[in-house]
DNA sequence: TTGTACGCGTTATCAG
DNA sequence: CTGATAACGCGTACAA
């Protein structure tokens, strides 16, 4: 007898195949009513809602996603497309995306897409509707052909840190980022206020247009201070430590080398520091340096270096929320949002005014 | 007429709802036969196989995963469980897991599980069969209660870098890692050969038992060289940069401070260096330092520091392959594999014998 | 406001 | 060796 009870409890707790029908029986209503309550549909009486919710809670019922997918022709998953190798940028965004997906019972698909890799795989995945919505990280968020393919497949997209003008696209594409021009300008003013006049700028690769905007902002700050643009040396990197080293090698061996270098991301800034130290320079006595993104690296480094923090987690959160809401109620217009960046001053930038 | 052709081609290329039935019709066979060929079942004639494969290729047919899941009661996905924040350890493993999943048409679910976070979510997910197999990263790979829950739900598990003795578990659990004892020993010998006699060791938290094995290996090397164990200072960190700083603060202010510090991972090593430099010490003149894991960080740092590379990508590959094969043919025994580690000597460890 | 019957694309059972 | 048919669990159309 007590054995029977135990067994019942066991069955209840191991919610093996608890289905709509189980719940319906428990609540003494029809399957469809349970479905209605579950999906928050209108035209359901309070009483019904209560009964059903009670049964759901009691049985610890969780809807079967596979059945939903099959029936609804949706995958209930988002895809995060990034260019490997995985960096702190990716993991930062993930911190925002994952909780939102979890809340909405959506899955997240990670889709690394190498710069030189064939795109046939991702195109097939898009066409096969493996995901309902896509988040594109830079530099992929600049890739019009990719965006095109996704939109053509009738899926939602959010561009992260992209310079693509979504108003010109007649598609419902959304995007989130910071004001790169302003960030570059702030940094420029920061340098200039501290007496710097010769500035080096190492951008990301050419496709990475948001980084170019930062360069424009920097120029604008220099113009404000009537500093001739000859004093600006521009290089292109590829977002890696190695490219930071390479750029620094040329940049720092110039006759009149810059007093401060603004690197397009924190990995490149680390590369510049490595190179500078190898050349016998001291940071910040002989050279000031700033990175970008706000990676933990910048804080752990010796010396810790100045950087501009992009709200990565917030990007992820915004993107996931946006996608989810667009999926929940389609035919929304594309929107864009500009989130605040944060200058993180550190001693890697010397104040030349103070002796 | 040409319009008709174009339309047909269009329909064929946009493999909208190409289903088993479409393929069956194209090949002039039954649905079930197509299914048989697809799943590589036995008792299918050559001719049939050819016909079907031809049709599949022509229509670019891809099976509908949702339907498979529903029918087969499997999720066709693996879960990667890790303790946030995401580190280079995670992304390294991902590089191995993702390609394997892609090859097998499996999805990967990322499951961050904070140390203090409630486990109800992950337990529910396990019970609801959201994944067919689980990969546990350290320190979660030591968590017997978690392993237990997964096994009880009849799912496959692979433990990465775990000290759990899978033979004592009477479960089909597999694991992969390096020989931590040997790694600690190699490092010990490396230090001793270069004249170091006072050694500091910063382990990971107590639960992280593989790290403890490294400490044992270190001791063993010291005993080989008849160095009294008093010369060893042991601290526990928590795998973070901050804990590296904290440990270093005590360790380096000792009267007879160590000549070399072995930190349990690269982030902690960075913390030790920061602290040492802040105290006015020079690396490696005043203090030698080694990390563990082989994170890119160790190479980018100034100065780059010695580390021991764990084959992270290979861990991921091994784990995914193992899981996939265990799922393909169940009731396999748990196995374990020890992969080679690599000492990466760098100038952060000084040779005290020279000069 | 609630319930019934059907179909989403597969795989499994069983008969041919 | 091959084919018809049922079921997996849910949402949609429609009737009540």
Strand D closer than 7 A to residue A30 Cβ: no
- Ordered strands of the B199-203 beta sheet: B232-236, B199-203, B260-263, B288-290
pLDDT band at B9 (very low <50, low <70, confident <90, very high): very low
Check pLDDT > 80 for residue B97.
yes
Task: State the pLDDT at residue B5.
Answer: 29
Mean pLDDT over all residues of chain A? 90
Separation between the CA of B76 and the C1’ of D11 (whole angstroms): 23
Residue-by-residue DSSP string for B146-166: HHHHHHHTT-EEEEES----T
Check pLDDT > 80 for residue A69.
yes
Q: What percent of chain B has pLDDT over 90?
A: 68
Check pLDDT > 80 for residue A12.
no
pLDDT band at B61 (very low <50, low <70, confident <90, very high): confident
A167: Cβ contacts below 8 Å, ≥ 6 apart: none
Check pLDDT > 60 for residue A11.
no
Residue A194, token pair as written in the block:
């501290």
Mean pLDDT over all residues of chain B? 90
Task: State the pLDDT at residue B207.
Answer: 66
Between B51-65, B275-289, B295-309, the lowest mean confidence (pLDDT) is in: B51-65
Beta-carbon separation of A109 and B108 below 8 A: yes
Task: State the pLDDT at residue B206.
Answer: 67
Q: What percent of chain B has pLDDT over 70?
A: 95
Tell me how far apart the alpha carbons of residues A52 and A310 are, in angstroms, rounded to a whole number: 45
Separation between the CA of A78 and the C1’ of D12 (whole angstroms): 25
Residue B110 sits at φ, ψ, to 5 deg, of -90, 125
Q: Nucleotides of chain D within 7 Å of a protein C-beta?
A: 1-5, 7-13
| pTM summary value | 0.92
Average pLDDT over residues B175-203: 96
Which domains are present in chain A? Answer: 20-71 (1.10.260.40), 74-177+312-341 (3.40.50.2300), 180-309 (3.40.50.2300)
Q: Which of residues 147-206 of A touch B (CB under 8 A)?
A: none
Average pLDDT over residues B65-84: 93
Tell me how far apart the alpha carbons of residues B82 and B284 are, in angstroms, rounded to a whole number: 34
Check pLDDT > 50 for residue A8.
no
Average pLDDT over residues B115-124: 92
- Torsion (CA) A101, A103, A106, A109 in degrees, nearest 10: 30
Tell me how far apart the alpha carbons of residues A50 and A37 are, in angstroms, rounded to a whole number: 9
Is the previous residue joined to A36 through a cis bond, with omega within 30 degrees of 0?
no
Task: State the pLDDT at residue B16.
Answer: 56
Average pLDDT over residues B323-343: 92
Strand D closer than 7 A to residue A64 Cβ: yes
B40 touches chain A (CB under 8 A): no
Between A95-99, A167-171, A281-285, the lowest mean confidence (pLDDT) is in: A167-171
pLDDT in tens, B199-238: 999 988 766 777 788 999 999 999 999 999 999 998 888 8
Task: State the pLDDT at residue B94.
Answer: 98
Q: What does the buried/exposed string (b/e) look like for A289-300 if buried means 16 or more CB atoms within 10 Å of the residue's CB? A: bbbbbbbbbbbb
A270 touches chain B (CB under 8 A): yes
User: Nearest-CA neighbor of B76 among A205, A107, A16?
Assistant: A107
Interface probe, candidates B65, B74, B128, chain A, greatest A C-beta count within 10 A: B128
Q: What percent of chain A has pLDDT over 90?
A: 68
Q: Which of residues 210-229 of A touch B (CB under 8 A)?
A: none
A268: Cβ contacts below 8 Å, ≥ 6 apart: A202, A237, A239, A240, A241, A243, A244, A247, A291
Task: State the pLDDT at residue A1.
Answer: 29
Three-state SS at A152:
helix
Highest mean pLDDT range out of A65-79, B55-69, B114-128, B258-272? B258-272
Check pLDDT > 90 for residue A211.
no
Give the sign of the dihedral formed by CA A125, CA A128, CA A131, CA A133.
Answer: positive
Tell me how far apart the alpha carbons of residues A317 and A158 are, in angstroms, rounded to a whole number: 11
pLDDT in tens, A245-276: 999 999 999 888 999 999 999 999 999 999 99
pLDDT band at B15 (very low <50, low <70, confident <90, very high): very low
pLDDT in tens, B147-163: 999 998 889 999 999 99
């Amino acid at each position: 007898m007590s054995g029977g009870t135990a067994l019942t409890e066991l069955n209840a707790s191991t919610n093996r195949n608890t289905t709509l029908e189980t719940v319906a029986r428990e609540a003494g209503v029809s399957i469809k009513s349970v479905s209605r309550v579950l999906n928050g549909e209108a035209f359901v009486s309070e009483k019904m809602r209560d009964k059903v919710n009670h049964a759901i809670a009691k049985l610890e019922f969780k809807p079967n996603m596979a059945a939903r997918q099959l029936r609804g022709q949706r995958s209930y998953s988002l895809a995060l497309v990034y260019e490997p190798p995985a960096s702190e940028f990716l993991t930062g965004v993930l911190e925002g995306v994952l909780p939102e997906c979890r809340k909405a019972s959506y899955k997240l698909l990670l889709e690394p897409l190498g710069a030189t890799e064939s795109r046939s795989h991702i195109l097939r995945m898009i066409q096969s509707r493996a995901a309902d919505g896509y988040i594109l990280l830079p530099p992929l968020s600049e890739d019009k052909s990719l965006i095109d393919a996704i939109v053509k497949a009738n899926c939602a997209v959010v561009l992260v840190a992209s310079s693509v003008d979504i108003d010109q696209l007649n598609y419902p594409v959304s995007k989130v980022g910071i004001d790169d021009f302003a960030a570059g300008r702030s940094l420029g003013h920061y340098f200039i206020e501290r007496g710097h006049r010769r500035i080096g700028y190492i951008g990301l690769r050419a496709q990475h247009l948001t980084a170019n905007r930062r360069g424009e902002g920097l120029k604008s700050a220099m113009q404000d201070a009537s500093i001739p643009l000859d004093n600006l040396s521009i290089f292109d990197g590829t977002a890696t430590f190695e490219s930071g080293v390479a750029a620094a090698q040329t940049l720092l061996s110039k006759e009149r080398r810059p007093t401060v270098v603004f690197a397009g991301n924190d990995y490149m800034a680390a590369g510049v520091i490595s190179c500078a130290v190898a050349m016998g320079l001291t940071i910040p006595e002989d050279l000031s340096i700033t990175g970008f993104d706000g990676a933990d690296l910048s804080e752990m480094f010796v010396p810790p270096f100045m950087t501009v923090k992009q709200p990565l987690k917030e990007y992820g959160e915004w993107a996931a929320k946006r996608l989810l809401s667009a999926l929940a109620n389609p035919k929304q217009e594309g929107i864009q949002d500009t989130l605040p960046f944060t200058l993180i001053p550190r001693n890697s930038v010397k104040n030349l005014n103070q002796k």
